[in-house]
Amino acid sequence: MTNVIVTTTINPPTEAVQRFDNMPGWHLVVIGDRKTPAYHLDNGTYLGPADQEALDKDLSDLIGWNCIQRRNFGLLVAHQMGAEVVAVVDDDNIPYDDWGSDLLVGREVEVNLFTTDLPAFDPVGATNHPNLWHRGYPLQLLPRRDYSSCRRERVHVDVQADFWDGDPDIDAICRMQFAPDCKFDASLFPLASNALSPFNSQNTFIAAHLLKDYFLFPHVGRMDDIWAAYHVERRGARVVYAKPSVVQERNPHDLVVDMKREYLGYEHNLALVEALQSDPDALFGFLPDEAMKAFQRYQSHFS
């Protein structure tokens, strides 16, 4: 099996990147940006700006520079390498020793299945940190979250979204309010839901057959991976949330800037998940033209 790890960075190789570069059974692909300094990997593959433009100059122009959505080039490289499972990670996710050793992707596993009549499910609220919520969960639904309906059930896993100890993936409003340092209870995982639920491009394992439809949309701020998640789920992908396998030592962020870049989601996430209930292509009506053109160009590599 070919397993590929994909990340982006504007930093020299971090502790996390060095560990992923030496991860047995995995090949690391690092996508640089114009700010990325000279880069060396012992085992993995690094693509600088010129390498990416050689792969697809039109896609590069449509995505733009100085943005995490350059990570899409890593997905294309993983596809070219014949990857069966692709892990998307951040360069501040320090993996535990057992990271990636018990893959659920492609298997049928027993989970705690939460059922809800709401159009979306928040996985973070189902843990021992119920005051928090996942980035991209519609804020209007927070008072209505209900975890009372849960049963054990076997499901087939297409996406394995591992959690993160330390600084979790919550939105700027949640982080401003709680500034959490989490230790998630591993016994509560794996968990899943009957409803659409947000997952990110950070410490997430994806079956390669989803790559054609899994695209980190540019020009939508910090909803790039969240809207990608809702899109592939509505097209049939089943996500299961698994126990933490990294500690996130979060790179410096300006929370006001993050909040501004999340505003598109605060405004539209509820309408999006409601629209997706009846139309699997509903996301396209929420995307700016530049994002849609970039997605179409990306998909051309899978023809």
Looking up residue 153, the CATH number of its domain turns out to be 3.90.550
For residue 150, the enclosing domain spans: 3-302
* Alpha carbon 58 to its chain's center: 24
Separation CA 226–CA 214 (nearest Å) = 11
Q: Is the pLDDT of residue 156 over 70?
A: yes
Percent of the chain scored above 90 by pLDDT? 97
pLDDT in tens, 201-246: 999 999 999 999 999 999 999 999 999 999 999 999 999 999 999 9
pLDDT of residue 1: 54
The whole-chain average pLDDT of the chain stands at 97
In the predicted model, what is the mean pLDDT of residues 95-101?
95
- CA atoms within a 13 Å half-sphere pointing along the CA-CB vector of 289: 0
Tokens of 115: 């059922």
In the predicted model, what is the mean pLDDT of residues 105-130?
98
Q: How much is the pTM?
A: 0.97
Count of domains for the chain? 1
pLDDT of residue 198: 98
- CA atoms within a 13 Å half-sphere pointing along the CA-CB vector of 17: 22
